Amino acid sequence: MKPQDIIREKSSLWIFGYGSLVWKPDFAYRRSKVGHIKGYKRRFWHGDDFYRGDKEKPGRVVTLVEDEDACTWGVAYEVTGSQVEESLRYLNVREVEGGGYVTAMVEFIPREKGQGALSALVYIAASDNPIYLGPAPDREIAAQIAICRGSTGHNAEYLVRLADFMRLCCPEVQDEHLFAIEYFHVDKHSDLLTFFLLNCAPQI
């Protein structure tokens, strides 16, 4: 589904973020909801050679991998009116052109009780993407994150902010992959992590 097709069909749209979008959407929106989608697991399997890394040392950022038994928590943002076109134009540059992501529609389930499921747009990096890095042991992923930096900042900041979001907004959820990588990072790079904890407070 191309962004221009979505614009033609929608006067309002929900956009689901599960990576940096949970703390840094960088587009205007009407409201947001914390919640999850089913059938996908979040993994640090995608490469980033611009925002959180470079050509020589690509960082690792998250994508979604299909798994019928899994669910992924994040934030859905509702955009309306002119915000639809503006947000999609921005995300097309940030996620599609710059990150190699493609779009899909998913069912988003808000965390709030009594809230019905919503149809939401999501960006996913597939394994045929040129900068897709694929699976690796959690310890190796943590080591790679520790040495990468891009135009937006250190790759470790991305890891810390995402883990902080989960603890703050989804405290009952155990994201084993995310927290294992954070654990190995803390074990080897506690000074760097302390810096980010002190200077990169969650902005939810």
Question: By the 8 A CB rule, do 97 and 50 touch?
Answer: no
Catalytic site residue 95?
yes
Query: Could you say which of 66, 85, 95, 172 is catalytic?
Result: 95
The token duo for 37 is 């989608």
Determine the pLDDT at residue 9.
64
Report d(CA 74, CA 60) in Å as an integer.
18
- pLDDT tens per residue, range 143-187: 999 999 999 999 999 999 999 999 999 999 999 999 999 999 887
C-alpha distance from residue 38 to each of 42, 72, 99 (Å): 11, 7, 23
Report d(CA 155, CA 96) in Å as an integer.
20
Average pLDDT of every residue of the chain: 90
- pLDDT tens per residue, range 39-93: 999 999 999 999 999 999 999 999 999 999 999 999 999 999 999 999 999 999 8
pLDDT at 102 over 80: yes
Determine the pLDDT at residue 50.
93
For the chain, percent of residues with pLDDT exceeding 90: 77
Determine the pLDDT at residue 199.
55
Which position has the token pair 């929900």?
14
C-alpha distance from residue 66 to each of 59, 63, 190 (Å): 22, 10, 33
The token duo for 118 is 């919503």
* Residue-range domains of the chain with CATH: 3-198 (3.10.490.10)
* CA within 13 Å, CB half, 89: 6
DSSP string, 6-43: HHHH-SEEEEEESSGGGT---S--SEEEEEEEEEEEEE
Which position has the token pair 């009407």?
30
The token duo for 46 is 């995608």
For the chain, percent of residues with pLDDT exceeding 70: 86
pLDDT at 12 over 80: yes
- 95 or 164, higher pLDDT: 164
